[in-house]
Structure 1
């Protein structure tokens, strides 16, 4: 009997096709695994970068917000000439003036700067004429809201300038050179002393020691406690003879209106 011939061409092709398919699937799986490894590497790298960036930002914020908090636990030392309850008022002007303007301010407060820029010359004119007495009261609202210690340190430096008899000039310099609200530049005593150089005769060893030692820190803290206890809401709070006169959009104050009210009181 002749040998039987079996045709295997189609079967061989099928096997070859299946083998190729398996190889393609395996290769695709390897490529997918490689892509997954690269993806995980990128994620880890990005996460590390984010963590490092966040740490850097936190470091910058900490450095910029005066994390070295001033000590306010010491004895309360009121500045020279302070008056009022608990000696928390820095008075400017003559005691015989018929009108008293009470101004609660924070040296970091942008709205306080706006008030000072708008009313500074009018207030100086009225105090120098003996018609107005100003009672400055200091708060540290921005330190609480934004973090940092610039409000407190600037207020302490202002109290030191009061000891030197130069409060008004230094008060004006601080507002004229106020940094951005988010920039706690006043937390640096060196900056406060540098600005004091704009006031003739203010920078002395005594003034510098007062600023660097935080001589009036506890007094500033007590002043801010009085501000919070009064529930005044915000700074600046401005009262003329005990009545709020600033910040009412229905009855806005102007420098000319303030001047007229003070002059009318002086004539009465």
Structure 2
């Protein structure tokens, strides 16, 4: 970062770490919303209000995810819940749990995108993407679910990697459920050559992979992961050591070393 940048003392890595901490706090609140009968007055009202907001649209979401589980083309990993990018023979594996509405996920993608894409193109790294819907649960709405379904539809068309990047590059504000609009998701597909055809549009509008996305989100919850993004390099959390976290440069060096 340039020394002339007034924000230079706060690196992109530090801002990402701070955003992840905020995201983890939101995730913890979602998982542990228990309103005690002893809580009264304003605090009780605030807690109940927060619970209602988190559960907004639950009935609609249950309907959206009540159909058969249809995995996208080439789904990999345990129970077929991962979308793999890169060559099978790559010696290093990056496991990424993300939510397309998650601000910290966007920060991770913006910081690491070029490095990850370069390493996968070289055949040195494969990435297994797992999709979650935490922001829908925290904020209400269905943008996380619908964006994840659209991403799975792009996998059917062999266009997951570029569409995944487009979604994060065009992520709305966390409180703006813009990705709940299928027309918006189809419009963004126009930024990926050869994606916005009839089959993709039908897949998005039908919510073909909604139940698969819901199953992936349940797997995330069952794994009791700390939040999104959760990123593992060959099974090791790259953010576990906050004093010495993996950077894009260190990721590149580690992968290149593993590949000899």
TM-score bracket for this pair, using the shorter chain length? 0.7 to 0.9
**2:110 aligned residue:** 117
Secondary structure in 2 aligned to 1:134?
A: strand
1:147 aligns with 2:147: no
- Displacement of 1:149 in angstroms is 0.4
1:149-199 Cα offsets, whole Å, 9 max, x none, are: 000000000000000000000000000000000000000001000100100
Partner residue in 2 for 1:168? 161
Choose from 66, 84, 93 the match for 2:86: 93
Distance across 1 between alignment mates of 2:170 and 2:109: 12
The 3-state SS of whatever aligns with 1:222 is helix
Shift of 1:67: 8.3
Structure 2 distance, partners of 1:209, 1:65, is: 23
Summarize the alignment of residues 221-240 of structure 1 with structure 2, pairs less than 5 Å apart.
Answer: 221-240=214-233
d(CA) in 2 for partners of 1:227 and 1:67?
Answer: 21
TM (normalized to structure 2)? 0.76
Q: How far apart are the structure 1 equivalents of 2:66 and 2:131?
A: 18
Aligned twin of 1:250: 243
Distance in 1 (CA, whole Å) between partners of 2:206 and 2:58 is: 15
Structure 2 gaps of 5+ residues are 1-52
Structure 1 CA distance, aligned partners of 2:203 and 2:88?
Answer: 27
Q: Distance in 2 between matches of 1:245 and 1:253?
A: 5
How far residue 248 of structure 1 moved from its aligned partner, in angstroms, is: 3.5
Over aligned residue pairs, what C-alpha RMSD do you find? Answer: 1.8
Structure with more helix by fraction: 1
Aligned to 1:263: 256
State whether residues 140 and 152 of structure 1, in contact with CA within 8 Å, keep that contact through their aligned partners in structure 2.
yes
Match of 1:157 among 146, 150, 156: 150
Deviation digits for residues 230-261 of structure 1 (CA, Å, limit 9, x no counterpart): 00020000000011113632112211000011
Is the contact between residue 108 and residue 179 of structure 1 (CA under 8 Å) also seen in structure 2? Answer: yes
Residues 77-131 of structure 1 deviation map (CA, whole Å, 9 limit, x = unaligned)? 0000101111101000001101000000000000000000000000011001110
Number of aligned residue pairs: give it.
206
Aligned to 1:132: 125
State the Cα distance separating 1:65 from its structure 2 match: 7.6
Q: Distance in 2 between matches of 1:167 and 1:67?
A: 29
Q: How does 1:1-268 map to 2 (within 5 A)?
A: 68-69=60-61, 71-246=64-239, 248-267=241-260
Cα separation, 2, equivalents of 1:165 and 1:244: 28
Greater C-alpha radius of gyration: 1
Cα distance, 1:223–1:235 mapped onto 2, change above 3 Å: same
CA contact (8 A) 1:67 1:148 kept: no
SS class of match (1:224): helix
Give the Cα–Cα distance (whole angstroms) in 2 for the partners of residues 129 and 223 of structure 1.
Answer: 28
Cα distance change, pair 189–162 in 1 and its aligned pair in 2 (3 A): same
Displacement of 1:66 after TM fit? Answer: 9.9
Q: TM-score, normalised by structure 1?
A: 0.74
